[in-house]
Structure 1
């Protein structure tokens, strides 16, 4: 059953009850990484293994995302600053226990590449928070795999 989540702003990234932060350097330039995140939304399923469908809605102001296992999200883009940050809020989901979610992708130049930092900021019921905190290692692994796949996808041919 799809449920409406609490509408939160970009500041939720710093104040969420559960914040999971992961980072990795990749060889692609920040502009290329930003393009893959913000402009090639359908391409997410090619490099982020958990994503089965991602598509922009409303000229890119919103997104529809589906994950393996059947979790679905309708999201609103909160920030899209070229080569710096891409962030979105989940508005509607079928994920049980989730009350609010913002994901932020922060890009920082690192030599000739990019330091990619993903912050998963969430609030939910006490059982949801516990499960999310215990899923830290799995989400970290998924992020590292996705960052590696994105790096390979963006590598010059």
Structure 2
């Protein structure tokens, strides 16, 4: 059953009790990476295998995301800076234990490409915080795989 989470602001990305931060360098330019994260939501499952579906709601001010395995999120967009930053707060989820959650994607030019920094900021009871810390390697692998898939999608010349 979906539960409402504590509403947090953008600064939660740097102050949350649990922060999982990952980076990747892509050959694709920041504008293309941003478009994939923020605008072409229906395509997200093709490059981020953990995602089953992503749908904009409220005219793009929010979105609904379903993960493989049944976890659902209702999210509010907190920052939408084309080519630079995309952040959203999870307002409602069926994931157990989570009390507050925000994800922040920061895109920086890196040569001809983009450095992507993804922060998953979470709060919950001790068991929830521990579970997220223990999940760090798996979440990191999922992120790296997603970024590799996205880069291949956006820069066809790099495909094997």
TM range (shorter): over 0.9
- Following superposition, the deviation at residue 41 of structure 1 comes to 1.3
Structure 2 unaligned blocks of 5 or more: none
Between the aligned partners of 2:72 and 2:51, the Cα distance in structure 1 is: 10
What does residue range 55-94 of structure 1 map to in structure 2 within 5 Å? 55-94=55-94
**How many Å separate the matches in 1 of 2:12 and 2:84?**
18
**CA deviation profile, 1:114-143 (whole Å, cap 9, x unmatched):** 000100000011111001000000000000
Q: Displacement, 1:156? A: 4.1
Name 2:154's counterpart in structure 1. 154
TM-score (norm: length of structure 2): 0.96
Report the CA distance between 1:43 and its aligned residue: 1.3
> Which residue in 2 is equivalent to 1:13?
13
Count of residues in correspondence between the two structures: 157
Aligned-pair Cα RMSD in Å: 0.8
Partner SS for 1:135: helix
| 1:49 maps onto 2:43 in alignment | no
TM-score, length basis structure 1: 0.98
The CA distance in 1 between the partners of 2:121 and 2:76, in whole Å, is 15
> Structure 1: any 5+ residue segments left out of the alignment?
none
